[in-house]
Amino acid sequence: MDLEMNLNAPHSMGTTIIGVTYNGGVVLGADSRTSTGMYVANRASDKITQLTDNVYVCRSGSAADSQIVSDYVRYFLHQHTIQLGQSATSKVAANLIRLLSYNNKTMLETGLIVGGWDKYEGGKIYAIPLGGTLIEQPFAIGGSGSSYLYGFFDQAWKEGMTKDEAEQLVVKAVSLAIARDGASGGVVRTVIINSEGVARNFYPGDKLQLWHEELEPQNSLLDLLNSS
């Protein structure tokens, strides 16, 4: 019923997450809304989490489950890096995520997208959805907001984009999903990973493009009334 807010519902990142490869690296993108039932518990969360210097993961689904899985993988990768004597590859990171997701599939509810750059394979994106399947893809979308993006990517995705084209595609896509998915919202965060390193970007909600039936934001109705 209307009045039941269920503030004790588990924190879930309804979410829109995206990972896209381009000519030289990867771009990861996500919205920033974390909800507890219908309440937005955090409107500026960071869903793109570091695993190593060159590998990041986009988290969706249960906030708790995705955090604990990424924490374990970060821990294992740290040890692996020491033993290996060099940076871990994105494939190893993705497989560790897969092992945890698959072997605990009855208990976990989290969909993850791993993206990174290493010297052997360059930029790679791996999707690990709910059951623990591992699938390497040129681009991946996930979270509740991704439902609204399948058609968009079918049309807009191209092989061999430049870094700026890829980032703009990701920001546009997350922004479109935010417009239609109640469980996604806030700001658009992107992380670009390539041979030169990692760059983080932040696009606040009011700086994004306006879509169908969205209006130019105003300070107040009074401004509109006074100007007409």
Partner 1 sequence: MAADMGAFGFHSPSSSLFFSCFVLEVCCFKRPGSYGSTLRYKSVERMKPIGKHSLLGASGEISDFQEILRYLDELILYDNMWDDGNSLGPKEVHNYLTRVMYNRRNKFNPLWNSLVLGGVKKGQKYLGTVSMIGVNFEDNHVATGFGNHLARPILRQEWHENLSFEDGVRLLEKCMRVLLYRDRSAVNKLQIAKITEVGVTISQPYSLKTYWEFSAFENPAQGAIGSW
Active site amino acids = 15
Nearer to partner 1, 21 or 32 (CB): 32
| Contact with partner 1 (CB under 8 A) among 105, 119, 158, 200 | 200
Question: Least distance in Å: CB of 158 to partner 1?
Answer: 28
Nearest residue to 95 via CA among 73, 117, 80, 79: 73
- By CB under 8 A, the residues from 87 to 146 that bind partner 1 are 144
Q: How far is the CB of 54 from partner 1 (least distance, A)?
A: 14
- The count of other CB atoms within 10 Å of the CB of residue 128 is 27
Task: Name the residue type at position 42.
Answer: N
Cβ closer to partner 1: 63 or 127?
63
- Residue closest to 189 by CA, chosen among 10, 59, 37, 91: 59
Q: How far is the CB of 33 from partner 1 (least distance, A)?
A: 8
180 is a contact residue toward partner 1 (CB under 8 A): yes
Could you tell me the two tokens for 114?
């791993």
Binding marks (x or -) toward partner 1, 56..75, rule CB under 8 A?
A: -------x---x--xx--x-
Question: Rule CB under 8 A: is residue 81 a binding residue for partner 1?
Answer: no
The whole-angstrom separation of Cα 205 and Cα 91 is 33
Residues 8 to 27 in contact with partner 1, rule: CB under 8 A: 13-14
Assign residue 62 a region (left: φ > 0; alpha: ψ between -120 and 50; beta: otherwise).
beta
User: Sign of the CA dihedral 153, 125, 172, 131?
Assistant: positive
CB of 136 to partner 1, least distance (A): 24
Two structure tokens written together for 160: 């061999």
Closest CA to 153 of 120, 117, 126, 177: 177
Q: Which residues bind partner 1 (CB under 8 A)?
A: 1-5, 13-14, 32-35, 38-40, 42-47, 49-50, 63, 67, 70-71, 74, 144, 148, 179-183, 185-187, 200, 202, 204-206, 212-222, 224-225
